Structure 1
Amino acid sequence: MQSQQPTNQRESIFNNEVISRFELYNSLFLTLPFYKIKDTGTLLPLFIKSCEDGVKNQETPAKIIERFIAKYTSNTTNKEITDLLFRFIQYIERQVVLFDAVEDASFNKLNVKDEQSSLRALFHKTVDSKELHEKVDKLIEDFSLRLVLTAHPTQFYPGSVLAIINDLTAAIKINDISVINQLLQQLGKTPFFNKKSPTPVDEALNLAWYLENVFYFAAANIQTGINQLLSEFHVDSKNIIELGFWPGGDRDGNPNVDPETTLQVSKMLRQILFRCYYRDFRNIKRRITFRGVESTIGVLQDILYKNAFDSNLEPEDISQDLITQLNQIRDILVEDHDSLFAPLVDDLLRKVELYGCHFASLDIRQDSRILREVHAFCRKHKPISSLFSSNYDELSEDEKISALSFKSAKVIYTTEPEGLVNDALQTIAEIKEMQKSNGEMACHRFIISNCQQASDILQLIELFLWNGWEAEELNIDFVPLFETVNDLSGAAEIMETLYTNSFYKAHLARRGGKQDIMLGYSDSTKDGGYLMANWSIFKAKVGLTQTAEKQNIQLAFFDGRGGPPSRGGGKTHRFYASMGKEIANKNIQLTIQGQTISSQYGSIDSAEFNIEQLINAGIATGMKEKHNVLLDDANFSILEKMANDSYDAFLNLRKHDLFLPYLETWSPLSLLSKITISSRPVKRNSGEALKLDDLRAISFVTAWSQLKQNIPGYFGIGTALKNQENEGNWEQVNKTYQQSGYFKTIIDNCMMSMSKSDFTITAYMANDKKFGAFWQTLHDEFELSKTMLLKLAGHQVLMENYPVEKLSIAIREKIVLPLVLIQHFALERLQHQVTEQEKQAYEKLAIRTVYGVVNAGRNLA
């Protein structure tokens, strides 16, 4: 699914369309007069050059900055110096936005669709084969793609800035210098960040910008194309694309999400959707001025307007009614008016069929440990108390499951539930209200994170039956989330227990025999390192697929993917394209979060391209139905050895006494909690001392990416490859690499992660008395990994197969180099005795650099 343009042609386009235009508009931007930043545009190029020269000479950030200040400015006080550095940060933040806009404006020129692997090409192959045609029909019937937007704290741009980026991209496409100049001025004067942390509702509203301005159009456009294609080949149309949403529903470790938040977000999604519908409807009404449709048009206008703007309206699921009325209008246009403007109606009809009254399905997520507490609370009250022995918590897993009766009951609470117990019970009750208002798809999944046993799911079902739900009407999918290496290894056994439980078996049958299972890449990488995480998830998927097939269950994997390769990101579609028949792949579900949203789905063009890639990957894999070569004994054995070696290396690093102190000292980890971009705490148990196990994976990865060391994305893989070479197994390793698309994708993404690393920036740390040897350990593994990966791939440089992407990374890293050095300068100052005022200034300096570094990386966190 990669672009079919020759590499040198793409490089030429990138140089002409992206680099040249960025340099032109950047020179314009640097001359713009902004409040309080006079002369900054003149000084910034000199500062960038000083930073580059200083890094080459392995100088400390303090020396680089102090020499620049002395040479080019008259600043002498700490306040004057920090003020100038803040102004540099402001400029660089906006340079990143400008580069994003220039690159996005050239998206269609740089990314030509691969027609050979498209859905249309696949159908053309079936023309002369009835058997092949039936196989494709079945694939289409079973296939679905669900993209789930999550509110992880690395999507920094507020709606006002996103709108500027959108308009700036459009202006750059046509080189409208006048508009570009105005928008750059607007960008310079627009605040990038909030002064206080957003609430979960604020996060939902910010993320809904993408639903309203991108996905509403992109998903519908793709679905329209699919329907047209299916019609051409006489196949029944089917909605393939689904949207999911976590802000407001994901309460795992976020005490700021409560039942009222969840209801607010559900209502907000509905209202935004109906405003989109009403916007489209006004275009229809403007064109359809014929006789015969006046009454239906009038009724439809009234319905859409009230649902879009009347906050006192009692909401209900009216999607089928909307579809009926739109079809009536369409039939009249076809029969009486030569189908004039029927495509406008078709477009709105398609959107209503896709989004109903909900827009995106709101997932509920909570930690299993909290849900166990809720179950224990309910067991204390009548009539539930009579169903369980007092020593239930001490029972074995089998004994607990045997004790579950799945009886519907109304609990009589003698003590009021509080905190998270109350949250869970209220949420269970209000899911029914959301389904009634917005349709079942509005909220139908409950995700159990840290799922460690079958009873975690079965006990949750009982909570539903005790709080207003009946077994026959339980329209909920219970989704276990397996994250750690240990949990992944036992996942198949847990699901086997569930599938053979009589009540759960009956429940699955009522849900169409379908089971969603979520797998977490972030925490598994934090737990076991990059290679072990990917290998553990691969093995878990194989085992879970076998278990589901044995029980005749249709399985869908929901992949919790972050932006960087260390959190499951990178060339995601290639992972799905490389699956064999041993891994369920008919239903692709994945989270999109942080900068992945803006970088891959930030415009209609890029969203359509990436959605198509995922659909093509899923369908193409279903056609192959081939054995996955990693399951051959020799390949399996070599990956098992490398994963274990990599795991040991990573575990030894994690256990190092300086591991956390190094991160806390040299990265902004300890300051992330002060960044006003997220409602979610940086770590669980936020009132206690920092422990690695409590630290959220996103904060863990962000800290390493700020250091430009990206440890979670490669550490241990060099040791693993070198060990196999030393043991005489290199030929087999190379054979596995050549044969397995999955393994090759792991290696490619690892190289991408390393391409965003630069140890020369921190080379001065090698001389640090406390941390020098630890830094050297990290650097040695980086160099070893680089050497071994290049040898395995047969390349001279990292990302040799992706020269345009490599060039883009290089330019972005050059833009933000001063931010990295300013950050290290501020962190170094904080290690000394400073006044309270200076402490606040340096902390603010370090914090502000985080935004630009992550934004430039596009998938760093």
Structure 2
Amino acid sequence: MLRKPKIQRFNDSVLSKYQIYNSIFLTLPFDEISNTGSFLPLFSEICEKGYEKNQDPTTIVDEFFKKFFSDISEEEKISYLFRFIQYIERQVVLFDAIEDASFSVVNNMNGHGTLRSIKEEAQAINKLGDLKEHLKHFSIRPVLTAHPTQFYPGPVLGIITDLSDAIERNDLTEIKKLLAQLGKTPFFKKEKPTPFDEAVSLIWYLENVFYQASSKIFTYIQNNIFREEELENDVVKLGFWPGGDRDGNPFVTPEITLNVADRLKTSVLKNYYKDIRKLKRRITFDGADKIIKELEQSLYENVFISSKKHTLDKDYFLAKLKEIKAILTERHQSLFVEEISDLINKVKLFGFHFATLDIRQDSRVHHSVLLGIVNDTHKHNLGIFPENYESLSDEEQIDVLTKVSGKIDPEIISDEMAKRTLQSIYAMQEIQKTNGEVGCNRYIISNNQTIINVLEAFAMIRLTGWEKPSADVTPLFETVDDLQRAKSVMETLYTNPIYKEHLERRNNVQPIMLGFSDGTKDGGYLMANWSIYKAKAELTEISRKYGIKVIFFDGRGGPPARGGGKTHQFYASLGPEIENEEVQLTIQGQTISSNFGTVDSCQYNLEQLLSSGIMNEIFTKDQNIISPEDKETMEELAEVSYKTYSDFKDHPKFVPYLEHMSTLKYYAKTNIGSRPSKRGKSDKLIFSDLRAIPFVGSWSQLKQNVPGFFGVGTALKHFEDKGEFDKVQKLYHNSLFFKTLLENSMMSLTKSFFKLTAYMKDDEEYGAFWTLIHDEYELSKKLLLKLTGYSELMEDTRSQKASIKVREDIVLPLLTIQQFALKKVQDFHKNKNVDEALIQVYEKMVTRSLFGNINASRNSA
């Protein structure tokens, strides 16, 4: 039987079910309120028709109450709007659950980009041997971060999981119960989570999703590609940031780091314990039964008895499992060998660490910390640094930092940040003893600008008595300027004799992180992505020159403006001039639950990541070389776009517009993340202090999505005006990289809706600025359609576009309420008619309405 097109599968399995279950949901009363659900569809219709008539949000809200309520007080209006928010954010949850339940139906689990498809393609062109060789060293590492881009508290995530299961079974009774539970479960967090709370929330995904999905992938490769030959390479590695990411988060202490590492180990041992208990019921044979009973007891003690912790060794555990396998093979006709092999594979992948905990701190903090350490070592006459260290030239400081060694007791350090920085390095060593070296072996330096930034961190690591550190010093290059300097920084490092010795001990592997989010915030969409591409090519070239294997780690967010979008297609587009032995990337916020929230979706998306690297190496490597002529075109596009974005960013109304017309300042009130919403302590809003997440999120709340397209239209117009649009068309058809960039930009445009904020064009202070943004939106849309030949945006991904449309329809009333509340607050301040109590109510309305809109954007990645 022919498989239905993807858009039809989406309509049948997702859209139809949503319409049915939403109609049930709207009839359920919450908090003794029985008519909110019946009024919400009417309000939605008023919103839709109102924007068709170019009405503003205030007019739309007023018209709704005028039409359906003859006499209603301000207090009652506010109550209704808050109840609408309550329903809408739960409609988003319902849609999430239905999409999760239908994932394996809508997506072809054996289709393009899956391991089965890759294996069959390789077989068809006699490249199965090449595929096997590539898998001996290629791997992926998704790194889970607690960056606050999702507003679902833990209980709501649990309901999504249970609701998905009930929908998959079509269990209407259970669905109604769960929808009722959903209606009464609060979304708003009264207190900020601690970094440990964030870690516990994400470890749930490791325990319940990645544990199963990763081992399924490993087992498939072992059984179907390697067969009798044992696969030694961990093709799926997991990374983890909560508890180790100290950048801008004063709440991440060394104690938190150690506690998170302990929780990671305990969690993976619990999973092994559950598996061993299941196996014990099957492996009841002479010789094997005693071993499995011994392992069960050891795991129990290491998980549940504090005094027995760390008494079980990973190598011993693995050796005993292999001993059981040998007994089953030799004496019991290989009965239950597959089950024991599955556990062996899991131990290979997850060890006793589960996921590698990265430590990260900002270079500016390191510099201040190091100077504090220098001064304290002088006070205690330790003789580690020369007395005139601060007045030395850069070259002289580099020489000192390279050669420095010793063991400093953190207790002699007077500055608290300096003390904690040293303690975090001691914590790394402690974690390596308990969880294995891979448990914590990477120190990331964010905002890395110079070689001194790298060497300051390297020096501090060695000042903990770690003369030959089993840890990778990893610079993170983020801004356009830093990306351009990256090659020079790394070449200086590679030629430094002592750092060269360190690299030799690390198998001549150098990880380098590249930041998409801050790069886009700094340089605009095209320039950021092109700068990262060029930096990767240059860093690959210089690393190969010195015999170093560079591993790129990409700091990506969910939306295209933060490096998200069609991530898999991006990696598949990289040619041979960019090292691609590992695909490493951050998985943030809603991207975790949307792309990796169930075993099916996690396995599918991990396989897509794996296949992107495989495709690039085995099938399309020589096809993804950008010609010199096309590079010139790309460079010119990036430069024009950069100039356009920079002028826009320097506009005197840019920061005030975000501060006064967007939801930026409300992000700090949502309590969704442990770290502050901006860097620095100044009350005045400074662009450089803005974090990328609230920056991009605020544009998203306005439905303007500026970081994903601004400058693209002007850059394309530049070539059209010169009569050289054919050069851009040639680049588009020749380069999968460029094509992917533009397709992601089209997603940002698709999710924009300027009618929501069209009232701003008449604003005395910000009208011209709003028009500037809208003009670039219209220009970008027009010229992207001309370039692609599409009649509408995202024409090639109809099912994804359909999903976006449903979500946008769901949150349209929510956004209307948000803009209505924002306008109320603005008017109160403008008219000097300050009713503080009422202002607080409307500000709370703005904050609450943030939730559903961000959660509805889960398909941005």
Regarding TM over 0.5, the answer is yes
* Contact kept? 2:114, 2:604, Cα under 8 Å: no
1:400 aligns with 2:397: yes
Separation in 1 of the partners of 2:657 and 2:286?
75
The counterpart of 1:443, out of the listed 440, 445, 453, is 440
Q: Following TM superposition, by how much is the alpha carbon of 1:860 offset from its aligned partner in structure 2, in angstroms?
A: 5.6
**Inter-partner Cα distance in structure 2 for 1:725 and 1:526:** 26
2:428 to 394, 411, 431: 431
Distance 1:249 1:775, change over 3 A: same
Tell me the equivalent position of 1:614: 609
Following the alignment from structure 1 to structure 2, what is the Cα–Cα distance between the partners of residues 266 and 75? 59
Cα contact 1:142–1:586 (8 A) shared by 2: yes
Aligned 1:460-475 pairs, distance under 5 A: 460-471=457-468, 474-475=469-470
- Figure out how many residues of one structure are paired with residues of the other and give that number: 854
Distance 1:218 1:642 in 2: 41
Between 1:663-672 and 1:538-547, the stretch displaced more is: 663-672
Per the alignment, residue 201 of structure 2 pairs with 206
Q: Is the 8 A contact 1:826 1:846 kept in 2?
A: yes
Give yes or no for contact 2:626–2:735 (8 Å, CA) kept in 1: no
Q: Is the 8 A contact 2:443 2:471 kept in 1?
A: yes
Whether 1:84 and 2:80 are equivalent positions in the alignment is: yes
3-state DSSP of counterpart to 2:676:
coil
Cα distance between partner residues in 2 of 1:278 and 1:520: 38
Q: Paired residue for 2:149, among 132, 154, 169?
A: 154
CA RMSD across the alignment: 2.1
C-alpha distance after superposition, 1:528-577 (max 9, x if no partner): 10000001001100100000110111111000000000100001011110
Q: What is the alpha-carbon distance in structure 1 between the residues aligned to residue 681 and residue 552 of structure 2?
A: 31
Measured in 1, the distance between the counterparts of 2:2 and 2:304 equals: 47
Stretch moving more, 259-268 or 460-469: 460-469
Return the alpha-carbon distance in structure 2 between the equivalents of residues 700 and 220 of structure 1: 37
Match of 1:61 among 57, 63, 82: 57
Matched position secondary structure for 2:687: coil
> Which of the residues 251, 256, 271 maps onto 1:256?
251
1:506-545 equivalence runs, <5 A: 506-545=501-540
List gaps (5 residues or longer) in structure 1.
Answer: none
Q: CA separation of 1:315/1:25 partners in 2, compared to 1, >3 Å: closer, same or farther? A: same
Task: Check conservation: 1:444, 1:475, Cα contact below 8 A.
Answer: yes
Is 1:781 matched with 2:781? no
Residue deviations 1:668-697, cap 9 Å, x none? 111111111111111001343210110001
Residue 736 of structure 1 pairs with residue 736 of structure 2:
no
1:76 Cα offset (Å): 3.2
Cα 1:413–1:203 change in 2 (3 A) is closer
Q: CA deviation at 1:317?
A: 6.6
Does residue 1:349 correspond to 2:344, yes or no?
yes
Distance in 1 separating the partners of 2:778 and 2:312: 58
Distance in structure 1 (CA, Å) of the matches to 2:431 and 2:71: 59
Give the distance between the partners of 2:252 and 2:859, measured in 1 at CA. 26
Does residue 558 of the first structure (1) align with residue 579 of the second (2)?
A: no
Shift in CA distance, 622/339, structure 1 to aligned 2, threshold 3 Å = same
The 1:13/1:75 distance shift into structure 2, 3 A limit, reads: farther
Task: Mark the runs of 5 or more structure 2 residues left unpaired by the alignment.
Answer: none
AA aligned opposite 1:835: D
Opposite residue 177 of structure 1, the aligned amino acid is L
What's 1:319 paired with?
Answer: 314
- In structure 2, relative to structure 1, the CA distance for the partners of 1:55 and 1:118 (3 Å cut) is closer
3-state SS of paired residue (2:845): helix
Aligned with 1:276 (options 267, 271, 287) = 271
Distance 2:727 2:155 in 1: 54
User: Is residue 582–residue 628 contact of structure 1 (8 Å, CA) maintained in 2?
Assistant: no
Q: Which moved more, 1:699-708 or 1:506-515?
A: 506-515
Aligned to 2:851: 851
Give 2:7's aligned amino acid.
Answer: E
> Deviation of residue 125 (structure 1)?
6.5
* 1:376 maps to 2:371: yes
Q: Does the aligned pair in 2 maintain the 1:577–1:621 contact within 8 Å?
A: yes
* TM value normalised by structure 1: 0.96
Change in Cα spacing, 1:457 to 1:68, as seen in structure 2 (3 Å) is same
Amino acid at match of 1:675: T
Give the structure 1 partner of residue 756 of structure 2: 761
User: Residue 87 of structure 1: CA displacement?
Assistant: 0.7
The answer on whether the counterparts of 2:576 and 2:625 sit within 8 Å (CA) in structure 1 is: no
Q: CA deviation at 1:297?
A: 2.0
CA contact (8 A) 1:819 1:853 kept: yes
User: 1:659 corresponds to which letter in structure 2?
Assistant: F
**Deviates further, 691-700 or 679-688:** 679-688
Match of 1:750 in 2: 745
Q: Closer, same or farther in 2 for the Cα pair 1:79/1:5, shift >3 Å?
A: farther
Distance in 2 (alpha carbons) for counterparts of 1:58 and 1:128: 56
- 2:92 is matched with 96
AA in 1 matched with 2:521: K
Within 5 Å, give how 1:200-349 maps onto structure 2. Answer: 200-232=195-227, 234=229, 236-315=231-310, 318-349=313-344
**Cα distance change, pair 234–347 in 1 and its aligned pair in 2 (3 A):** closer
Give CA deviations for 1:378-436 in whole Å, capped at 9, x if unaligned.
22315886354444334443332223353431236795333321210110111111111
State the distance in 1 between where 2:245 and 2:623 align. Answer: 35
Cα distance in 1, alignment partners of residues 684 and 89 from structure 2 = 32
Distance 1:127 1:821 in 2: 54
**What letter corresponds to residue 28 of structure 1 in structure 2?**
I
Deviation larger for 285-294 or 70-79: 70-79
1:860–1:768 distance in 2 versus 1, CA, 3 Å:
farther
| Contact 1:316–1:437 (Cα < 8 Å) also in 2 | no
The 10-residue stretch of structure 1 (571-580 or 150-159) with the greater mean CA deviation from structure 2: 150-159
Query: Which range moves more in the overlay, 801-810 or 763-772?
Result: 763-772
Q: Kindly tell me: are residues 337 and 752 of structure 1, through their superposed partners in 2, closer, same or farther at Cα, counting changes over 3 Å?
A: same
1: CA distance between counterparts of 2:461 and 2:745?
43
Q: Equivalent residue for 1:40?
A: 36
Equivalent residues of 1:569, 1:859 under 8 A apart = no
- Deviation of the 1:336 alpha carbon: 2.4
Task: Please state how far the C-alpha of 1:830 moved relative to its aligned partner.
Answer: 1.0
In terms of mean alpha carbon deviation, does 711-720 or 33-42 score higher? 33-42
Structure 1 Cα separation of the partners of residues 412 and 800 of structure 2: 59
Aligned counterpart, 2:593: 598
Q: Which residue in 1 is equivalent to 2:175?
A: 180
Once the 2 structures are TM-superposed, how far is the Cα of residue 122 of structure 1 from its aligned partner?
Answer: 5.1
Match of 1:24 in 2: 20
Which SS does the other structure have where 1:830 is aligned? helix
Cα deviation per residue 1:331-354 (whole Å; 9 max; x = unaligned)? Answer: 222222222222222222211111
Query: Aligned partners of 1:786 and 1:536: how far apart in 2?
Result: 23
How far 1:667 moved relative to its partner? 1.4
Cα 1:98–1:772 change in 2 (3 A) is same
Contact 2:109/2:604 (CA < 8 Å) preserved in 1?
Answer: yes
Cα distance in 2 for partners of 1:781, 1:138 equals: 48
378-387 or 87-96: bigger deviation = 378-387
Task: Give the AA of the match of 1:454.
Answer: I
Aligned partner of 1:105 in structure 2 is 101
Contact 1:411 1:467 survives alignment (8 Å): yes
Q: Is the 8 A contact 1:249 1:362 kept in 2?
A: yes
Q: Which residue of 2 aligns with 1:718?
A: 713
Q: Tell me how far 1:630 sits from its aligned partner.
A: 6.1
Alpha-carbon offset, residue 665 of structure 1: 1.9
Deviation for aligned residue 1:638: 0.9
- Separation in structure 1 between the aligned mates of residue 634 and residue 125 of structure 2, nearest angstrom: 38
Shift of residue 834, structure 1, vs aligned partner: 3.8
